[in-house]
Structure 1
Amino acid sequence: MKIGIIGATGKQGNLILLEAYRRGHDVTALIRDQQKLKHEVPYIEKELYDLTPAELEGFDAVVDAFNAPANMPQLHQTSLRHITKVVKDLDTKLYVVGGAGSLYIDSGKTTRLSETPDFPESFKRTADSMAAALDELRNSKGTNWIYVSPAANFDFEGAKTGEYQLAGETLTVNSQGDSYISYADYASGLLDLIESGDHNKERVSLVSK
């Protein structure tokens, strides 16, 4: 498959790029600064907001691994809004690396994790912006997408186990009662989703076993 990765020089984007490359896919990094690219793969060096349909129409999948700075959380909304418009009406499917704050803590889907008393205040603006971006994505027309939330404890240093659970929109825990997944296992899960082609216009989540 031909896969483009927006934010391929970031922590998660880089691991997704490596996982896709390891599986033999045709991977292109969609980045703003080629000098930060650690691997010899094809790339398009361009600001995210300048990407056009002509540049993305040849991809089977585009992964949005863009991560907004903590002091500019609104970029989660504006960036995803632009990418959604770019892939609109293309055969390209958009895979969004989402957040855990918008996961629901109840089966009735009335309360999000970010709305609970113990949710860290320092992450709340980012979580709210990502939730708003997801709501916009749900209402978009003509775009094929899947929004993939990690578990609440999203661990960059965690080991790659090769095992995970695919869950829905409700916060899910592992066999130890923790909502946890490593960045490496998330990358594996995301590539499994891309390869399967399952789920469209849905939000799912990944959590360790």
Structure 2
Amino acid sequence: MNILLLGATGRVGSELLQRALDDGHEVVALVRSQAKLNAASPHLYTIQGDVLQSADLERAMRAIPVDSVVSALGTDKNNTLSRVTPSLISLMDKHAVRRIITVGTAGILNSRNDPGLYRFQANESKRKTTTAAEDHLAAYRHVKASDLDWTIVCPTYLPAGDEYGNYRVRKNWLPEDGQKITVPDAAAFVYSQIASSEYSQSRAGIAY
């Protein structure tokens, strides 16, 4: 499979990259700095650029015939996710790429306490600010309104640690009393969705 990976130098993204390369997939990684990319393989195509620049996204999309897009991009005070998502959707439509899996946040899952609200709106999230959740929410709304085959994986607190495999997943909700999930386990689930349609057109809440 040919995969366009965004956020390949991040904690989850670097795990995703190694898993895909180990399985022999062809991976295009769009990165701002090649020096931060801790992987080398004849199956890896590195494009240096900025995801917020449509021309750079276009170069990455055209590097090889892409089958799916996996985004482990983080958010920041620049509203990166809400800015890049419309361009990404447009390019996927242009190049007839249907499948996208993104890493979101548990804050945009449904609230148990306040029906009709998201967790971050109902103060179920432990984060003191809502800036990141709002950026993730904007990206989610763009993807949901598209014609793409999408899955947004929404982990709660992501500490470093080992891969245990005993996590729980629930569509559009955080598993009850879910508190955390390690980076390797979160990456394992994200990676599994490339070849799965179980959580298509859904947010997938994930936690131990």
TM-score bracket relative to the smaller structure? 0.7 to 0.9
* TM-score, L = length of structure 2: 0.85
Q: 1:185 to 1:27 in 2, by over 3 A?
A: same
* Stretches of 4+ aligned residues off by more than 6 angstroms: none
Deviations 1:85-124 (A, max 9, x none): 1112513411111111111122984122112346446431
Aligned position for 1:171: 174
CA distance in 1, matches of 2:205, 2:127: 23
- Aligned AA (1:4): L
Q: 1:79 to 1:106 in 2, by over 3 A?
A: same
Of 49, 64, 83, which aligns to 2:88? 83
Q: What secondary structure sits across from 1:130 in the alignment?
A: helix
Aligned position for 1:43: 46
Matches within 5 A, 1:33-72: 33-40=33-40, 41-48=44-51, 49=53, 50=55, 51-52=57-58, 55=62, 58-69=65-76, 71-72=77-78
CA RMSD of aligned residues (A): 2.3
CA distance in 2, matches of 1:117, 1:163: 27
Residue 129 of structure 1 pairs with residue 121 of structure 2: no
Unaligned stretches of 5+ residues in structure 1: none
Identity percentage of aligned residues: 23
- Aligned AA (2:2): K
Q: 1:145 to 1:17 in 2, by over 3 A?
A: same
Matches within 5 A, 1:1-209: 1-40=1-40, 41-48=44-51, 49=53, 50=55, 51-52=57-58, 55=62, 58-69=65-76, 71-72=77-78, 74-88=79-93, 90-106=96-112, 109-117=115-123, 119-120=125-126, 122-140=128-146, 142-150=147-155, 152-155=156-159, 157-173=160-176, 177-208=177-208
Provide the aligned length of Structure 1 versus Structure 2.
200
* TM-score, L = length of structure 1: 0.84
Q: Is the 2:154–2:206 contact (alpha carbons within 8 Å) kept by the matching residues of 1?
A: yes
Q: Is the 1:167–1:207 contact (alpha carbons within 8 Å) kept by the matching residues of 2?
A: no
Q: Is the 1:56–1:87 contact (alpha carbons within 8 Å) kept by the matching residues of 2?
A: no
Q: Is the 1:6–1:30 contact (alpha carbons within 8 Å) kept by the matching residues of 2?
A: yes
Unaligned stretches of 5+ residues in structure 2: none
CA distance in 2, matches of 1:61, 1:111: 31
Q: 1:167 to 1:120 in 2, by over 3 A?
A: closer
Q: What secondary structure sits across from 2:65 in the alignment?
A: coil
